Structure 1
Amino acid sequence: MISLKKHTNIALGYFFLVGLLGTFLRFFFVIPIPANFRYVVHSHSHIALLGWVYIALTTMIYKMYFAEAGFGRIYKRIFWFTQVTLIGMMLSFPFTGYALFSITFSTLFLFASYFMAWFILKKTPPQYKSIYSFRLIKAALWYMVFSSIGPWALGGIMATTGSASIWYKMAIYYYLHFQYNAWFILALLGILFYFMEQQNLRPQKGHFKSFFWQINLAVILSFFLSVLWVEPHWAFYVLGGAGAVFQITAFVKFWKMLAPYWNQLQFSPFLKLLLKIAGLALILKLILQLFSALPWFAKLAFSFPDFVIGYLHWVFLGVVTVCLFAFLAHHRLLRLPKWVFWLYFLAFLATETLIFYKGLVTWQEMALFKDYFRVLAYCSLFLPFSAGALLLINALTKSQTSAKYE
């Protein structure tokens, strides 16, 4: 049997490391640290996206479609191959940045993700392949594969135009867009629809079809928001703006589908509160993206990196991670004490406030308050502390959720 709760604990372990690395980065501005800042940034970002979020999502998807169907040996081989690549990145990026070993392990991770996508798309039992949740998961996986074009392109870009070229940033923004706005969001939506389907709460086919095509169109068009920092032709602003509008209309349709079933949805009151918090964070994300389609706001956002950093952390910690907490807990893969979540959430709000504050102050050419970086670093400490507490609590919990071998 596969203990999926142990796999969840591995994902939590990566989340704990992400928090430690993020806090470590903030202490660079407080005390002298004999390390390369950019190298640690690379490690932090890779483990955040590919460790915590990727492992948590794929573990839940396996539980949804394969826990009773078997195929455990195939999944287990892909899972542990993925862990080798992640550990390799953790041990190489902080010390070498983009170099032979880190590039090798990150490339191997791409192949591992392709194997995982193939496994889910090919081996999912037939009875699931026509349901709404799988259509969303399927689209999410394809976007995950498409996002890898960005990393593949980086090698050629660095060899020709170099890391200082606009194409280098374009490749990174392409990757981040299809990770954040497609793979993560659509996978989370698919998981939520799965829970609804388990309770026979099924929206009308026409409503879902309209939502599905709008969200996909939004994903593709909103990519153009990521190129506005080069001040391109006006047509790109129109395309990006259309993508932002379609995102909003798609989620309005999503809420109209969800609202009639909200009270029937068998989530605990606490987990429903988490979903509401993530929903509010998502609304702000959509509003920020809509504003970024306007030339003045687009230039402002990309002229001051703190706004971009704050936005990425807002989506990662406020939308994606809060949803993961709720879904993992509902799946009984995670024990989530209320005090741990509120500690995490307060640390998230405090650090986000400080990051956006720095962006505003820099924009207005004002002075930061005394000991700003020290306060930010100390507030950041509570993120790995809450992640570590969550990991310890779950590691000490005896009950395990398992899945069959084939």
Structure 2
Amino acid sequence: MISFKKHIRIALGYFMLIAIMGVALRLFAVIDLPITYRYMVHTHSHIALLGWVYVGLTTILYFLYLKKSGISKKYTALFWATQITIVGMMFSFPFTGYALFSITFSTLFLIATYVFAFYFLKHTPNDLKTLQSYKLIRVAVWYMVLSSIGPWAVGGIMAILGNTSPWYHNAIYFYLHFQYNGWFLVALCGILFRIFEHYNISVPKKSFKRFYYLLNVGVLLTFFISILWMQPHGLFYALAIAGSVMQIGAFSMLFRKILWERFTLGNNLSRLTVSLLKFAGFCLAVKLTAQLMGSFPETAELISGTTDYVISYLHWVFLGLVSVALLSFLHHFKWIALPRVALAIYIAGFALTEFLIFYRGSMSAFNLPALPEISFWLSLASVLLLVAVGWLFAVQFKKHKYH
């Protein structure tokens, strides 16, 4: 029998490890460390996306759609094979960067994701395939598969054109876009719709069709934001703006539905789960606004020339939107305890790091006054995140009540 709590503890373990790496990356600007910064960045990003979020999401999806499909042995074997690839990346990237062993484990991980996608699409019971939530999850899984074109392309591009080629950067951006905005975001929407279905909250077919269309066309078109750094033809800006507006339209529909059903949701979800979802919703609203602003030529040029703005945005989506929404769902399914003090420390660390990274970018972009010892304060804020995530991880090994 599959222990979902054990699987989620492993996911949280990865979350703690990336918090440790985050502190190490911040300390580079303060003290000398005997590690290669670029290699650690690779490790940090891979374990964040492929360890914490991937394991957390796929565990929820198996629980919601596959637990009665009779493939528990196959899934368990796949789960542990996937962990071997993640651990392999974790112990190869810091020492070699992109080299034989890290590329081998990354490739094996991609193959494992294809197997998961196959299991999900083939073995989900037919009665669940008619659900609106399944339709969202299904397209999210396809976005996961689609995103893998990026890593496959990187190897060929490096061999032929080198890592200074615009196509090299665009391949990475393609991967990140369809991971963040496709796989992660749409899967989280699907899980939310599954909760709707569990509590008999219905969405009219016509409304769902409109939401589904706006969301997914928006996902496809907003990829063009990722290539605006090349200052392409005006058509690409128009497509990026259209995609951003479509996503705002889609999530406006979803927000209205949540507001309409707030009493039903409030009566069935814990106050903590609701609070976390509200925070994730706020982060989503900011993300959508930033996405639209970044679709215009002037702001696109400013953002592409300011690395800290890009880092701030990626962390906002990962730490604020995706991670908080994922924690809220894990708490809803009673798989994890969430101490409120630890969450408060997490939010404080998140807010402080976001402010400092954004301000550091603004210092160079707008010649704002320099903050003294900003690297030290960024390191301190990262320590707050580590304390919070470490606390969340450690508390899962104690007996507790869910509330």
Q: What residue in structure 2 maps to residue 144 of structure 1?
A: 144
Which of 366, 381, 384 matches 1:382?
384
Q: C-alpha distance in 2, partners of 1:259/1:207?
A: 15
Q: What residue in structure 2 maps to residue 307 of structure 1?
A: 309
Q: C-alpha distance in 2, partners of 1:365/1:398?
A: 50
The equivalences for 1:207-356 within 5 A come to 207-265=207-265, 266-356=268-358
Worse-superposed segment, 361-370 or 196-205: 361-370
Q: C-alpha distance in 2, partners of 1:180/1:397?
A: 34
Please say if residues 225 and 240 of structure 1, whose CA atoms lie closer than 8 Å, have aligned partners that are also in contact.
yes
Displacement of 1:208 after TM fit?
0.5
Q: What residue in structure 2 maps to residue 134 of structure 1?
A: 134
The equivalences for 1:366-377 within 5 A come to 366=368, 368-377=370-379
Displacement of 1:399 after TM fit?
8.8
Please say if residues 65 and 124 of structure 1, whose CA atoms lie closer than 8 Å, have aligned partners that are also in contact.
yes
Displacement of 1:366 after TM fit?
4.5
AA paired with 1:341?
Answer: L
AA paired with 1:195?
Answer: I
AA paired with 1:380?
Answer: S
AA paired with 2:396?
Answer: N
Q: C-alpha distance in 2, partners of 1:164/1:185?
A: 30
Q: C-alpha distance in 1, partners of 2:20/2:374?
A: 19
- The percentage of aligned residue pairs carrying the same residue is 48
Q: C-alpha distance in 1, partners of 2:69/2:152?
A: 34
Q: What residue in structure 2 maps to residue 29 of structure 1?
A: 29
Q: TM-score, normalised by structure 1?
A: 0.97
Q: C-alpha distance in 2, partners of 1:320/1:84?
A: 24
Q: What residue in structure 2 maps to residue 40 of structure 1?
A: 40
Deviations 1:356-387 (A, max 9, x none): 01010011234522211011101101112111
Please say if residues 4 and 333 of structure 1, whose CA atoms lie closer than 8 Å, have aligned partners that are also in contact.
yes
Deviations 1:226-254 (A, max 9, x none): 11000000000001110011010111112
Please say if residues 207 and 257 of structure 1, whose CA atoms lie closer than 8 Å, have aligned partners that are also in contact.
no
Q: What residue in structure 2 maps to residue 362 of structure 1?
A: 364
Q: C-alpha distance in 1, partners of 2:399/2:116?
A: 28
Displacement of 1:126 after TM fit?
1.2
Q: C-alpha distance in 2, partners of 1:95/1:54?
A: 23
Q: C-alpha distance in 2, partners of 1:395/1:388?
A: 12
Q: What residue in structure 1 maps to residue 64 of structure 2?
A: 64
Q: C-alpha distance in 2, partners of 1:68/1:392?
A: 31
Q: C-alpha distance in 2, partners of 1:261/1:71?
A: 35
Deviations 1:21-72 (A, max 9, x none): 0110000000011211000000000000000000000001111123344321
Q: What residue in structure 2 maps to residue 403 of structure 1?
A: none
SS at match of 1:395: coil
In structure 1, list runs of 5 or more residues that go unmatched: 401-406
AA paired with 1:263?
Answer: F
Q: C-alpha distance in 1, partners of 2:400/2:271?
A: 24
Q: C-alpha distance in 2, partners of 1:84/1:34?
A: 26
Q: C-alpha distance in 2, partners of 1:172/1:291?
A: 22
Q: C-alpha distance in 2, partners of 1:8/1:399?
A: 17
Q: C-alpha distance in 1, partners of 2:162/2:370?
A: 34
Please say if residues 174 and 226 of structure 2, whose CA atoms lie closer than 8 Å, have aligned partners that are also in contact.
yes
Please say if residues 344 and 386 of structure 1, whose CA atoms lie closer than 8 Å, have aligned partners that are also in contact.
yes
Displacement of 1:339 after TM fit?
1.1
Q: C-alpha distance in 1, partners of 2:144/2:328?
A: 22
In structure 2, list runs of 5 or more residues that go unmatched: none
SS at match of 1:381: helix
Please say if residues 224 and 236 of structure 1, whose CA atoms lie closer than 8 Å, have aligned partners that are also in contact.
yes
Please say if residues 337 and 400 of structure 2, whose CA atoms lie closer than 8 Å, have aligned partners that are also in contact.
no
AA paired with 1:150?
Answer: G
Q: C-alpha distance in 2, partners of 1:238/1:86?
A: 39
Displacement of 1:84 after TM fit?
0.4
Give the paired residue count.
Answer: 400
Q: What residue in structure 2 maps to residue 8 of structure 1?
A: 8
AA paired with 2:262?
Answer: W
Displacement of 1:12 after TM fit?
0.0
Worse-superposed segment, 317-326 or 362-371: 362-371
SS at match of 2:396: helix
Q: TM-score, normalised by structure 2?
A: 0.97
Please say if residues 275 and 322 of structure 1, whose CA atoms lie closer than 8 Å, have aligned partners that are also in contact.
yes
Q: C-alpha distance in 2, partners of 1:61/1:282?
A: 22
Displacement of 1:120 after TM fit?
0.9
Deviations 1:326-370 (A, max 9, x none): 000001111111111111111000110000010100112345222
Deviations 1:213-232 (A, max 9, x none): 11010000110011100000
Displacement of 1:262 after TM fit?
2.1
Q: C-alpha distance in 2, partners of 1:70/1:377?
A: 47
Deviations 1:171-224 (A, max 9, x none): 010000000101000000000110110111111111001100110100001100
SS at match of 2:261: helix
Q: Does 1:176 align with 2:172?
A: no
